[in-house]
Amino acid sequence: LDSFESIKCLLDCLKSEGYRIEKLYERGDDLAKDILSRVTCDQRWLTPERMAEKAEAVAGEELYGEWYRNLPEDIKKKMSEDWGEIPGDIFVHDKKMLFPGLVNGNVFITIQPPRGYLENIDKVYHDFYLSPPHHYLAHYRWIKYVFKADVVMHVGKHGSLEWLPGKALGLSDTCYPDLAIMDLPNVYPYIINDPSEGTQAKRRSYCCIIDHLTPVFSNADLYEDLAKVENLLNDYSISKREDPGKLDILRPMIWEAVCEADLDKDLDITEEKAFSDFDGFLEQLHAYLSELADTMINDGLHVMGCVPEKERMVEFLVQLTRLSNGDVPSLREAILKADGYSYDELLENRGKVLPQFGGKTGGQIIAEAHEKALLLVKELAEKGFNKDCVESSIQSLLGRFDPEINKVLIYICSNLVPSICQVTDEIDASITAFSGGFVPPGPSGAPTRGQADILPTGRNFYSVDPRKIPSPAAWETGRKLGDSLLERYLSETGNYPETVGIIIWGGSTMRTKGDDVAEVLYLMGVKPVWSKGSGEVSGLEIIPHSELGRPRIDVVPRISGFFRDSFPNLVELMDEAARMVAALEEPPETNILRRNVLRDMDEYMKEGMTKEDAFREATFRIFGCPPGTYGAGVSELVESKNWKTQEDLGNSYIRYSSHAYGKGSYGKQRISAFRNVLSRMEVTVKNEDSREYDMMSCTDYYNYYGGLIVAAKTVRGKLPYAIVGDSADPKRIKMRTTFEEAKHVLRSRLTNPKWLEGMKRHGYKGAGDISHMMDVILGWDATAEVIDDWMYDRVAHKFALDPEMQKWMKEVNPYALQNILDKLLEAISRGMW
């Protein structure tokens, strides 16, 4: 979300509705500059005296002293232990608290106060329940009691309020979110594809959600040196048919272009190997480039209430119909089917030229189908998305009528376009919420994963019924994910893994209805039993070994704090599955989980445990952070630079994540049990259910998954085989290593001019989001070692060293450029680059 431009639009609307707004802004960047001219949450650039001069919101001793005295005694004691006596030393000058932001008529535009992690990093390392600083609670009290706000809006997802320590549900006056927000009405715009964090905000900050649209998505396409290689490949293909004499000239040219683009590193191939089977090498190269070009990426950011226009609307509609939506077929597949092709056959032969492909590769035919889809939708756009024009558009572009294509295009005209145009409801619903009106509910999910029917936005979204997870459809996807993971590992090693660690988040569980949980059960050799009629999961059933056809795998889910809070039934389900499998009287070669449990039981009984207690201790498989807390303990160390070795990061992750969940244990710390499973963790996996997100989207990815990888290395002495599962198309699962996925994201998105130009449209916010990618890149390399020197080289050139980019960043957001350079220098100083 472009938060500054969205607030600018909200201010315009508030003014027209009669709210007292003294200043309107031509652009969101003008608002950003106005905010930066006051106190912000960054203390690095101003002295306390200058901050005091710039502060519009101030609280003296009398005010904050009264606020503090009214807090519960236990809270006062804890905050004083963590931060010293009030007022502490965060944004304090002459015993006055200074708050960021500016007053604009009856609107106070502020920045959420610092959570305190970076200001008290040593405390973070030892205290799971670090309280927010005195300044944090005082900030919200200034809003309520001094500014006298009637309502608060938090713009921009994943704030800190809803993640403060306290109960998961039914918060009391000793829970920090409740202490902060008090009884202030809270309105929260949230992206429609993140139901988990939105639900968290509802439960723990009592907000009314106003869901907003995702950014526009489009294909990555090829660019610069990648496009040069692709052009040479096309020349080679033509010459092979029409002028074979040129092939000897083209081969070294192709290899030189491949090396200039560093594609030899992507494909892990040497010159000798490439030239020993050049046609095979070209097939591999064609397939790789085709997949990169066909990857969906975001084109800029969303602005609340703004309808995508022209080409961006066309691109978005094509991505929304890339997969089938209910009984509406995939536009891409319908076009290919009409042309006589099987989409799956083309995917299997992306880089191959087969006789039935008419001298083209499978990837080229897929690309042509994508272009036809764009042309069809573009023609409809020019005709105002009039459904009466659908049939003639099909005839004019394809030369014939096709009922399946017709069905998709009618769906676009009748359903999708009107729903997207209702994006104006995002602003209208916000105004309604401000005036205490009713905001209608609506579903949530990933629109490009065959869920476009969840639109329109501007609704107070809801999520799922936990009792129906995993759904039968999720079970099928989970099985495919499990089989694909094992196939990939078997092809690399020839063995089944001793233990698989898997990251499970609440968001993906809500979007997919339980793909990850289903995978855990399936790998263990257990399947859900659903009640007829209700569809609720009523129990578990052991899959016979004869049916399973492989060993039962030992699986260790590392769950997020939100998953723990939202899905206690699934925690119990997975725990029950582990205990069921461990109790099966099966030989060790067919039941790896039982084999590991028996080994650990022997150790525990030697230490004096009873057999029953040893069995329970040895069967703990679900681990997470302590009750009432959230996170993994890695990103805080990386962001504060408060680490020296990977073991520092791994040990912090183990401290945070060694809390066992299951029968008889709600988050009790079991460091020994967790280290035992880590010692056998040969494989780790985190699945991505949509290309609307990827492993570089935010720091949570390396915090949780990179943290698990480095924790396993800390205990085992070597990195696990780390995998990213891609179920963006649930019918066609892909498995990449984290290194492969990092390269894929870097190529398709991060260094892609198309993505960078999209972000540049958003000025200050766009530059900040580009800069944030450096934080994520550094975190991933620190934990999982997935960023090679050539990758740093390319990112450095694109983000900072390119003269045009450097000039633009200096103009719109010099702080973003400073952060990029800071992270690059840190990578050098740590020997990572």
CA distance 234 to 229: 9
Residues 206, 275 within the same domain: no
Residue at a domain's end among 269, 293, 317: 293
Give the pLDDT mean for 216-233: 97
Of 391 and 124, more confident: 391
Residues 204, 285 within the same domain: no
Taking the model in full, what pTM does it have? Answer: 0.96
Distances (CA, A) of 415 to 386, 412, 455: 12, 6, 9
Give the confidence band of 403 by pLDDT, cuts at 50, 70, 90. Answer: very high
Model confidence pLDDT, tens digit, residues 774-831 = 999 999 999 999 999 999 999 999 999 999 999 999 999 999 999 999 999 999 999 9
Q: Is residue 708 part of a domain?
A: yes
Model confidence pLDDT, tens digit, residues 365-380 = 999 999 999 999 999 9
Q: Is residue 584 part of a domain?
A: yes
Q: Is residue 313 part of a domain?
A: no
Question: Does 214 have pLDDT greater than 90?
Answer: yes
Beta carbons within 10 angstroms of residue 408's beta carbon = 27
Query: In 3D, which of 394, 393, 386, 391 has the Cα closest to residue 412?
Result: 386
Q: Is residue 457 part of a domain?
A: no
Residues 189, 241 within the same domain: no
Q: Is 79 helix (H, G, I), strand (E, B) or coil?
A: helix
Question: Does 125 have pLDDT greater than 70?
Answer: no
Distances (CA, A) of 318 to 102, 603, 638: 42, 58, 39
Question: Does 241 have pLDDT greater than 90?
Answer: no
Residues 12, 78 within the same domain: yes
End-to-end alpha-carbon separation of the chain, Å?
A: 32
Q: Are 213 and 194 spatial neighbours (Cβ–Cβ below 8 Å)?
A: no
For the chain, the domain total comes to: 4
DSSP class of residue 752?
A: -
The three-state (H, E, C) secondary structure of 237-256, written as one string: HHHHHHCHHHHHHHHHHHHH
Residues 708, 807 within the same domain: no
CA distance 782 to 776: 10
Give the confidence band of 118 by pLDDT, cuts at 50, 70, 90. Answer: confident
Residues 56, 204 within the same domain: yes
Dig out the tokens for 787 from the structure: 């960023």
Give the pLDDT mean for 35-51: 89
Residues 108, 170 within the same domain: yes
Q: For all residues of the chain together, what is the average pLDDT? A: 96
DSSP class of residue 449?
A: T
Q: Is 591 helix (H, G, I), strand (E, B) or coil?
A: strand
Pure H helices in 261-398: 263-267, 271-276, 278-293, 310-320, 331-338, 343-348, 362-382, 390-398
Question: Does 120 have pLDDT greater than 80?
Answer: no
Dig out the tokens for 638 from the structure: 């990386």
Q: Is residue 392 part of a domain?
A: no
Residue at a domain's end among 682, 700, 733: 733
Percent of the chain with pLDDT over 70: 100
Q: Are 646 and 782 spatial neighbours (Cβ–Cβ below 8 Å)?
A: yes
Residues 559, 697 within the same domain: yes
Give the confidence band of 116 by pLDDT, cuts at 50, 70, 90. Answer: confident
Q: Are 789 and 334 spatial neighbours (Cβ–Cβ below 8 Å)?
A: no
Dig out the tokens for 340 from the structure: 């006589």
Give the confidence band of 127 by pLDDT, cuts at 50, 70, 90. Answer: confident
Q: Which residue is associated with the tokens 């020296």?
A: 644
Residues 709, 761 within the same domain: no
Query: Facing residues of 418 across strands?
Result: none
Model confidence pLDDT, tens digit, residues 311-338 = 999 999 999 999 999 999 999 999 999 9
Question: Does 585 have pLDDT greater than 90?
Answer: yes
Residue at a domain's end among 733, 766, 791: 733
Residues 162, 101 within the same domain: yes
Residues 772, 665 within the same domain: no
Question: Does 533 have pLDDT greater than 70?
Answer: yes
The predicted structure's pLDDT at residue 365 = 96
Sign of CA dihedral 357, 361, 366, 369: negative
Angle subtended by helix axes 278-293 and 362-382, to nearest 10: 20
Residues 688, 570 within the same domain: yes
Model confidence pLDDT, tens digit, residues 48-95 = 899 999 999 999 999 999 999 999 999 999 999 999 999 999 999 999
* 37-51, 240-254, 259-273: least confident range: 37-51
CA distance 667 to 628: 10
Beta carbons within 10 angstroms of residue 175's beta carbon = 18
Q: Is residue 432 part of a domain?
A: no
The predicted structure's pLDDT at residue 59 = 96
Dig out the tokens for 164 from the structure: 């403060």
Looking from the CA of 824 toward its CB, the CA atoms found within 13 Å total 20
Kind plus residue range of the DSSP H or E element containing 502: strand 499-504
Q: Is residue 406 part of a domain?
A: no
Question: Does 113 have pLDDT greater than 70?
Answer: yes
Dig out the tokens for 543 from the structure: 């899959």
Q: Is residue 459 part of a domain?
A: no
Question: Does 42 have pLDDT greater than 90?
Answer: no
The predicted structure's pLDDT at residue 328 = 97
Q: List the domain range (segments joined by +) for residue 245.
A: 221-293
